[in-house]
Amino acid sequence: MLGLRCIVGNLHGGGRLLRSLPHVQKSCVSSSSLTSQRVSLHRGLPPPAARRFLSQDRGSSARSARFKLQTRVAVTLAFGGGLMAVWWYVYSEKEQKLRQQRLQQLQQVALGQGNFSLLDHTGQRRTKRDFLGSWPLFITVDPERDDVPALARYVKDFHPRLVGLTGTPEEVKEAGRDYRVYASPGPKDEDGDYIVDHTILIYLVSPDGLFLDYYNRMKNQDQIAESVRNHIRNHVPLADT
């Protein structure tokens, strides 16, 4: 305001006010210079409103980018999950079909479909029907030496649920034929001892009495255990087929 008043006095008073008051002139000049500098400084700066709108635009852009990224991730996960579901369905259907085919093949084999009658290691007469379920059985192929007391001693070295079975040579031979087991005693030596040449197999039979699998000496205990677990998981009772 001081600079403006000095300019007005200079215009209407013919300059007398400025000449008579030199210190006011200096103040006016100084005030005018400061005002000019302030105007120049303000002209060199960007408008505040522009800076405020720019920061808002950047925030909106960042939020939009995050939303797009989240959308893409969600779509990708949904698509991948859908593919996995389709793959699992096709795989399950294929496995089920293979199990059904194998079940039909095993039924045609008719291995172990007969009924044996033998003595267990406690001297009790047992038949195949007594063991329909999950019973481990050991059937000797040497009934002449593997009598009831011998079997009782033998099964102690295995699982407590293992049942040893023996009988007359004719009964044992009939059970062997039913499971297609080969056994032939060799010649006796001077002490009356002999070696029996026989098939070495472990048969896995379902609770329904159906042959499921077999294991020879080429299979180790881990492979046998894994195979048995797979059969247990995938077992389908005959009543459900």
Mark the binding-site residues for Cu cation, compressed into ranges. Answer: 198
Asked if residues 106 and 212 have their Cβ atoms less than 8 Å apart, the reply is yes
Q: Is 200 exposed, middle or buried (0-12, 13-18, 19+ CB in 10 A)?
A: exposed
Known binding residues are 198
d(CA 238, CA 234): 13
The DSSP bridge partners found for residue 115 are none
Cα 57 versus chain centre, distance? 46
The token pair that represents 85 in the structure block: 């579901």
Give CA torsion, residues 108, 110, 113, 116, to 10 deg.
Answer: 180
